[in-house]
A and B are shown apart, each in its own frame.
Chain A
Amino acid sequence: MLYVSGEISGDSWGIFAFLCAALWNLPTLPALNSTDEVGAVQSIQKTYDLTRYLEHQLRTLAGTYLNYLGPPFNEPDFNPPRMTRAEMVPSATVDFELWRNLNDNARLAANYRAYTHLLCYLRSMDGQVAKAELRKNLGHFCTSLQGLVVSIASVMSSLGYPLPSPLGSANPTWAQGPGTTSTHNDFLKKMDDFWLLKELQTWLWRSAKDFNRLKKKVPPAALMLRLEARGF
Chain B
Amino acid sequence: MWDNPSLRCLLAITFLHLLSLIYSQETGFPEAPENLKCITHDLNRMICSWDATSSANLGLTYKICYTNSEHFSLVCIETEGKRADIPVTVGSTNIRITTLNASGTSLATETFVLSEENVSLIPLTPQILNLSADFSTYTLYLKWNDSGSVFQYELDASWQIQILRKETLETVALMNYDSKLTGKDSILSWNWTSDIPLECTSYYVKIRCYINEPYFTGRKEWSEWSPIRTVPEKDTKPNSAMVFPQDKVVLVGSNVTFCCLYNEGESIKFMNYGSKSYPLLRLNKWSSAIKVQNVSASISSGTNVWCLLEPDGLEGTVLFVGYAPDTPQNLNCETRTFITITCSWNPGRATALYRQRQTKYILFERISKENVTCKVDELNKEHYCDFPVHANQKIYNFTLGASNPLGQAESSLLIDVNQRVHLETPVKFTVSTNSSTNAHLSWYIPGNFIQIRLLCQIEISNSNSERQLNVSMAGAENSNYRAWVDALHPYATYTFRVRCSASEHFWRWSKWSEEKKLTTLEAPPARGPAIWRERSPVGETLTVFWKPLLLSEANGIILSHEVSCYSREIMLKAHEVPVPLNSTEIKLGGNDCLISVVAKNRAGSSPPSRITSMDLPSDDVKTELAIAAGNGIYISWHSDPNVTCGYTLKWCISSGSEPCNVDWEMFPSNATDAVIKSALFQPGVRYNFSLYGCKHNGYQLLQNITGYMKELPPKVAPNFTVEETSSDSILVKWEDIPVEDCQGFLKGYILYFAKGEKGSSKTSFTDEENKTEKNITDLTKKSLRILDLQGKTSYRLGLRAYTVGGIGPSKDLYVVTKENSVGLIIAILIPVAVAVVLGVVTSILCYQKREWIKETFYPDIPNPENSKALQFQKNICEGNTALKTLEMNPCTPNSVEVVETQSTVLKIEDTEIISPVADSELPEDGSDPETGSHVVVSYCPPIIEEEISSPPIDEPVGSSQVIYIDIQSMYQPQVNPEEEPEINFVTTAGYKPQMQLPINAMKMESHSPTEEDLDKTAGYRPQANTNVWKLDSPDSPISIQSNNENGSFGSPCSINSRQFLIPPKDYEDSPTHNNTGWSFTNFFQNKPND
Contacts and interface: CB of A to CB of B under 8 A. Distances in A.
Contacts of A187: 243, 247, 304-306, 315-318
Nearest to B378: A130
| Chain A interface extent, by class | 20 to 34
Contacts of B988: none
B275 A190 contact: no
A71 interface: yes
Interface string A59-86: 0000000001111110100001100000
B798 interface: no
9 contacts: A68-B300, A70-B304, A75-B275, A131-B300, A185-B317, A185-B318, A186-B301, A186-B317, A187-B318
Contact of B318 (A81, A129, A186): A186
A170 interface: no
Contact of B301 (A80, A190, A191): A190
B538 interface: no
A131 B318 CA distance: 17
Nearest to A132: B379
B104 interface: no
Contacts of B300: 68, 130-131
A180 interface: no
B893 interface: no
B313 interface: yes
Contacts of A80: 314
A128 B304 contact: no
B318 A130 contact: no
B275 A72 contact: yes
A4 B304 CA distance: 42
B245 to A, nearest CB: 10
Given A81-B314, A132-B379, A186 B302 contact: yes
Contact of B303 (A70, A75, A135): A70
Given A68-B301, A69-B301, A73-B304, A185 B275 contact: no
B304 A130 contact: no
B317 A130 contact: no
Interface of B: 243, 246-247, 272, 274-275, 299-306, 312-318, 354-355, 378-380
Given A70-B274, A73-B304, A130 B355 contact: yes
Interface in A197-226: none
A68 B316 CA distance: 16
A75 B302 CA distance: 16
Contacts, number: 61
Contacts of B243: 187
Given A130-B301, A190-B304, 6 more contacts: A73-B304, A186-B318, A187-B315, A187-B317, A190-B316, A190-B318
A88 to B, nearest CB: 16
Contacts of A128: 355
Contact of B304 (A72, A129, A131, A135): A72
Contacts of A135: 379
A190 B272 CA distance: 16
Interface in A18-49: none
A186 B249 CA distance: 12
A193 B65 CA distance: 85
B354 A185 contact: no
Nearest to B355: A130
Contact of A131 (B272, B302, B379): B379
A81 to B, nearest CB: 5
Interface in A82-101: none
With most chain B CB atoms within 10 A of its CB, the pick from A69, A70, A187 is A187
A187 to B, nearest CB: 4
Nearest to A71: B275
Nearest to A131: B300
A38 B468 CA distance: 70
Contacts of B246: 185
A130 B275 contact: no
A214 B354 CA distance: 46
A136 to B, nearest CB: 10
Nearest to B313: A81
Contact of B299 (A68, A132, A186, A191): A68
A69 B314 CA distance: 16
A146 B893 CA distance: 141
Contacts of B306: 72, 187
Contacts of B274: 70-71
A133 to B, nearest CB: 9
A187 B244 CA distance: 11
Contacts of B316: 187, 190-191
A185 B246 CA distance: 7
User: Nearest 7 pairs between A and B by C-beta?
Assistant: A130-B354, A186-B318, A187-B316, A71-B275, A130-B300, A132-B379, A80-B314
A130 B355 CA distance: 6
A132 B378 CA distance: 10
